[in-house]
Amino acid sequence: MTVGYIGPCGINLPHTHPQATEINFIVSGSFEASFFQENGARFIMNTLVAGQATVFPQGAIHFEQNLNCTPAMFVAAFNSADPGVLTVANSFYGGLPANIGGASLGGLNITTVDSMKAMLPVNPTLGIQECRQRCGL
C-alpha cells in the first residue's frame, strides 16, 4: 500500500504497474483518474471524490490529476508486494537509446530527443497551465 498526496493542480504522471493491479481510494479532495489498458483500447476518465475508489488493471497506463486549488490524498493498494512502477515519459526518453526514441517519434534526431529528456519533470508535478492560472500558482 501507499499513501499519495497530489497538490493543487498537481498530476501523478502517466505510469504503469507492470506487476500489479491497483485499487485507489480517495481520502480527501477530488481528482480525475484516467487509464487505458492497451493499444486501441478506450480511454477511461472519471472524476472521483473523497470516499470513492477506482481500479487500475495491471499494466494499464494511468494517472491522477488534481484540478482543484486544494490538496488531495489517496491510498493505493496493490495485489503484489512489488507492483513496480514505470513512468511513461521518463522510461521512454530516459530508458531507451535516443536514436530508438527518435525513430519511434517519426525520425527525430538524437539532439532533439536529448533536449526533450532534459525537460522531463519529477513526479508528481504541477499539472495543466489553465488550472495553475485559476489557482494563482
- pLDDT tens string 72-89: 999 999 999 999 999 888
As a whole number of angstroms, the distance between CA 90 and CA 122 comes to 9
Q: Give the Cα-Cα-Cα angle 67, 37, 14 (nearest 5 degrees).
A: 40
Binning pLDDT at 50, 70 and 90, where does residue 66 land?
very high
pLDDT on residue 83: 95
Q: Where are the beta strands (DSSP E) in 1-137?
A: 2-6, 10-16, 22-28, 30-36, 44-49, 53-56, 61-65, 72-78, 86-87, 125-126
- Enter the pTM of the model: 0.86
Give a yes or no: residue 49 inside a domain.
Answer: yes
Whether 104 is in a domain gets the answer no
Q: In the predicted model, what is the mean pLDDT of residues 96-101?
A: 86
Here the cell at position 44 is: 477511461
pLDDT tens profile 33-65: 999 888 888 888 999 999 999 999 999 999 999
Provide the domain limits for residue 73. 2-87+123-134
pLDDT at 85: 93
Mean pLDDT of the chain: 90
96 part of a folded domain: no
The answer as to whether 70 is a domain residue is yes
Q: Is the pLDDT confidence value at 122 over 80?
A: no
Beta bridge partners of 62: 15, 35
Q: Is residue 55 part of a domain?
A: yes
Residue 105 lies in a domain: no
The band of 92, judged by pLDDT with boundaries at 50, 70 and 90, is confident
41 belongs to a structural domain: yes
Total domains in the fold of the chain: 1
Residue 101 lies in a domain: no
Q: For residue 21, give the CATH number of its domain.
A: 2.60.120.10
